[in-house]
Amino acid sequence: MAHPKQALAIAARTGVLAARFCPGPFTGLSDRCLPVKTCKKGEWVVNQGDTLEGLYIVQEGKILLTRLSCSGRETIIEFVGPGQFFGDVPLINGDAAPFNALALQATVLLVVRKSEFRQILDDVTACRALIDVLVRRCNDAWTQIEVLGNSLLEEKVRIMLDWLSRRIGIQTPEGVQIRMSQSQLAKMVGCSRESLNRQLSVFKNQGLIKVKGKYPQTSLLVLAPERLSPIA
């Protein structure tokens, strides 16, 4: 079990739940603890269509959110890391989960129960912070729509790498590291892995990126993020 204030501190440190989110959302919960859910790498935390038990805050690890179409095509929605959360929209509208959640590594989740989440919604400051997160997600969705609607593969990959560098990139002495497989990146771009590999080879020859590791445990190192801006 984890203390509610600890959960908020984790979230506030990463900037996903704004610092002003605390202490309002957990007013009245200071004498209670949040359940802790541990997940192994490769474990499905949520299946599309499930009824959620609460809001999930990632304490450690990483969660991949995806959505399956009626035809069985998988779309990557978001990577959720420490301090970030998911499951808020189904709790607000009462619908089933519109996504699948997969643990990409050993992960520890803090669970804010439905009743406690309702108390969060009664707090004006907390609601404003939640709206900020929802707005960011809308902006992310527009970027993904732009990528999928673009017909030029080079521009699609440029836009996606630029976005991923800013969203989940890790700054290193060499450049910005993007920890995701090429198969996952291909799904986000909307192309085959073979087509993606050819375009990444072009960027590699241009000195824009490096590919670290060996398949399937690879990651991308963006050497010059400023040069990834989409072609005008």
pLDDT digits (tens, 9 = 90+) for 176-201: 998 888 888 888 888 888 999 999 99
Give buried/exposed letters for 129-162 (b at 16+ CB in 10 A, else e).
bbeebeeeeeeeeebbeebeebeebeebbbbbbb
Residue 110 — φ and ψ, nearest 5°?
A: -100, 135
Q: pTM of this prediction?
A: 0.73
Instruction: Give the CB-side neighbour count of residue 180, counting CA atoms within 13 A.
Output: 27
Compute the distance between CA of residue 188 and CA of residue 79 in angstroms, rounded to an integer: 11
Q: CA 28 to CA 197: how far, in whole Å? A: 53
Is 4-144's fold the same as 152-228's?
no
Domain positions in the chain: 4-144, 152-228
Tens of pLDDT, residues 76-93: 888 898 888 999 999 999
Architecture of domain 152-228 in this structure: Orthogonal Bundle (1.10)
pLDDT per residue as tens digits for the range 102-159: 999 999 998 988 888 887 788 787 788 888 888 988 888 888 888 888 889 999 999 9
Query: Mind listing the pLDDT tens digit for each residue in 199-224?
Result: 999 999 999 998 887 665 678 889 98
Backbone angles phi, psi at 201, to 5 degrees: -65, -40
Architecture in CATH of 4-144: Sandwich (2.60)
Residue 7 to residue 143: CA distance in whole angstroms: 30
- Secondary structure, 3-state, 8-39: HHHHHHHCCCCHHHCCHHHCCCCCCCECEEEE
